[in-house]
Amino acid sequence: MPSLNSFNTSIFPTWCPGCGDFGIWGALKQALESLKINPDQAAFFFGVGCSGNISSFIRGYGFHSLHGRSIANAAGAKLANYKLPVIVIAGDGDMLGEGLSHFIHAARANHDITIILHNNGVFGLTTGQSSPTAEIGFKSKPMPWETTDEPINPCALAIMQQAGFVSRGFAGDQEGLSNLINQAINHSGFSLVDVLQPCVTFNPDKSYIWYRQRIKSVESVTSDVLTGIKNSLWIDERISTGIIYQNSRPAFHSNYPQLVKDNLLDTTGKKRDISKLLNGFK
């Protein structure tokens, strides 16, 4: 049985004091403990950034990927061994900037992977440039007046592609977040947990208080795309949290007849007899 401590490594997190990443770190460990997943019974794929640095703070089978590519790694990993839970942890800069196409295509395919998106609207590790989710008006060194780009809404994007499970949580609510992560991991298909995460150093305007004043739980889970998209939007100073959209599309790997019973990990890597194929070239 795993305990919270079994997910700790020899390195204590190097995030700024008060960083929202601490809440996500705690919620993730709590979810894994409640699901009774041991550190060696899941595969984690990390992006690059402050969030990706969690790769050295979570004990488990980790893969600290390149900036933007962790979802693609995870999609291949799930096809390779669909028996292990596959969890992706990356930030909004990573996953919605450089890695945006992987995000959309993985949602479209409905790969059975869980995505924990550290969404703080800023590039923290490179000291505060605007990220794809930065709101209009955000000021940063590369754009000294203010950002005019419309922010990306990851939940709306995922719902558009009818991803299996789309949710939003808050790093300041560790209990609620761990519950969402738990359900996301349990969902068979693409599951997104978009985590509102304060960056106290480079995006101090969006503080814990700022979020608390705006977040509100969705009333009910919908499987209707239009309702889901509507609920995912940040409108009227209101940000919905909880499971925003869920459907029962089959997970991507289950579409392959050869994977119905067998796991690639067990059936491949052994020498095959190809004499039948060779006869076709006579």
Partner 1 sequence: MKSEISIKVGGPAGAGVKSVGQILAKTLQRSGFQVFEYPEYPSLIRGGHNTELVQASLGEKYSLTKPVDLLIALDDKTLKLDLPEVVSGGMVIFDSKIEFKPSPSKIIYLSIPLSDIAQKLGNPLMANVVAVGAGLKVMGLSTLMTSKLLTDQFFKKGPDVVAANIKALEAGWNFVKEKGFKPILDSVDVKPSNNLMMTGNEALSLGAISAGLGLYAAYPMTPSTPILHYLSAHQQEFGYVVRQAEDEISAVNMIIGAMHMGVRAMCGTSGGGFALMNESLALAGMTETPLVVVLVQRPGPATGLPTWTEQGELQYAIHAAHGEFLKFVLAPGDNREIFQMAFEAFNLAERYQTPAIIMLDKFLSESSMTCGNLFPDKFTIDRGKISDPLKLKRTQNYQRYQLTDDGISERSLPGMEGGVFCANSDEHEYHGLVDESSSMRIWQVDKRLKKMDAAAKMMPGPKFIGPKNAKITIVAWGSGKLAGIETMEMINNEQKTKNNEQRVKNRVNVLHFSYLWPMNVKAVSEALKNCAPSTLLIEQNATGQFQALLKEQIGWEPTAHLRKYDGRPFYAEEIIGKIDKLVNGLMDS
Give contact residues for partner 1 (rule: CB under 8 A).
Answer: 9-11, 39-43, 45, 48, 53, 55-56, 59-66, 69, 72-81, 83-84, 101-102, 105, 256-259, 262, 264-265, 267-272, 274-275, 277-278, 281-282
Q: Of the two residues 8 and 227, which places its CB atom closer to partner 1 in the complex?
A: 8
Minimum distance from residue 111 beta carbon to partner 1 (Å): 10
Minimum distance from residue 91 beta carbon to partner 1 (Å): 15
Rg of the Cα atoms in the chain: 20
Minimum distance from residue 214 beta carbon to partner 1 (Å): 34
Minimum distance from residue 63 beta carbon to partner 1 (Å): 5
Per the listing, tokens 């499971």 go with 243
Minimum distance from residue 186 beta carbon to partner 1 (Å): 18
| Whole-Å CA distances, 170 to 101, 134, 145, 214 | 25, 17, 29, 11
155 Cβ neighbours under 8 A, 6+ residues apart: 166, 167, 168, 192, 194, 228, 232, 244, 245
Q: Of the two residues 20 and 47, which places its CB atom closer to partner 1 in the complex?
A: 47
| Whole-Å CA distances, 234 to 146, 168, 194, 215, 253 | 20, 12, 13, 10, 33
**Token pair recorded at residue 139:** 């000021």
Q: Of the two residues 78 and 118, which places its CB atom closer to partner 1 in the complex?
A: 78
Provide the residue count of the chain.
282
Q: Of the two residues 226 and 274, which places its CB atom closer to partner 1 in the complex?
A: 274
